[in-house]
Structure 1
Amino acid sequence: MKKQDLSRRSFLKFGVAGLVAVPVAGLGWTTTAAAAERLDPESAEAQALQYVHQSEVEGQYCSNCLLYNDPSQEEWGPCAVFPGKVVAADGWCTAWVARG
């Protein structure tokens, strides 16, 4: 019976550790996104989607796009279209999709 208790105890320890790790991992992702390189509008990937730092399309901004991964970022934030880069919250590209 002791062996079963140890297994149950181990399971509970790992379960609690896993629950604690999830929010902590989220903090690391936010820090990584904040430290990411800004997308250069002159880069080939930006030009392919006509990305600009300042939108000229009324009501369409990166910050209100479905692909803007962190709407809480007010100046620069991650975008699913440009992994590893951050885009201007006031920016725009042809991949813009209305946030529902």
Structure 2
Amino acid sequence: MKTLNDNVSRRRFLQFGAYGLVAVPVVGALGWATAAQAATKVDENSDTAQALAYRHDAATVDHPAFVEGSNCANCLLYTDTGGDWGPCAVFPGQQVAAKGWCTAWVARS
């Protein structure tokens, strides 16, 4: 009867474990990028967007809380993807325009 030691050496076990530890973040990053690309864009007419006065273009915002120069790209809640659209913590599963704005805007430090 063969034992576990006959089939798998300690060195081989640690080697596979190291490969697994390296693979997890890589696969996770690929999954995040795919999910971000597949996300739908926020509809300005949705209830949440209207409640937060969200607009795709900050230049068209007429709101008392609006600060000149503020937009999603320089908001703490926006995850910059280097493109025109990206994820925002306020609109989970959706993308907002980098040039957009809403009342949840928080300046990046």
1:8: how far off? 5.5
Query: Does residue 58 in structure 1 map to residue 61 in structure 2?
Result: no
Shift of 1:10: 2.2
Aligned to 1:68: 78
> TM-score scaled to structure 2, two decimals?
0.77
Give yes or no for the alignment of 1:79 onto 2:88. Answer: yes
SS at match of 1:84: strand
> Partner residue of 1:17?
20
Identity among equivalent positions (%) equals 49
Cα deviation, residue 58, structure 1: 1.9
1:63 aligned partner, one-letter code: A
The reply on whether 1:33 has 2:36 as its aligned counterpart is: yes
RMSD between superposed Cα atoms in Å: 1.9
Matched, 1:98 2:101: no
Displacement of 1:51? 0.6
- 1:10, 1:98 → 2: CA distance? 48
Distance apart, 1:72 and its partner CA: 3.0
Which amino acid letter does the alignment assign opposite residue 99 of structure 1? R
1:37 Cα deviation after fit = 0.5
Show structure 1 runs of 4+ deviating over 6 A.
none
For residues 51 and 74 of structure 2, what CA distance do their matches in structure 1 show? 21
**Does structure 2 conserve the Cα–Cα contact (< 8 Å) formed by 1:63 and 1:74?**
no
The match for 1:6 is 9
The structure whose Rg is larger is 2
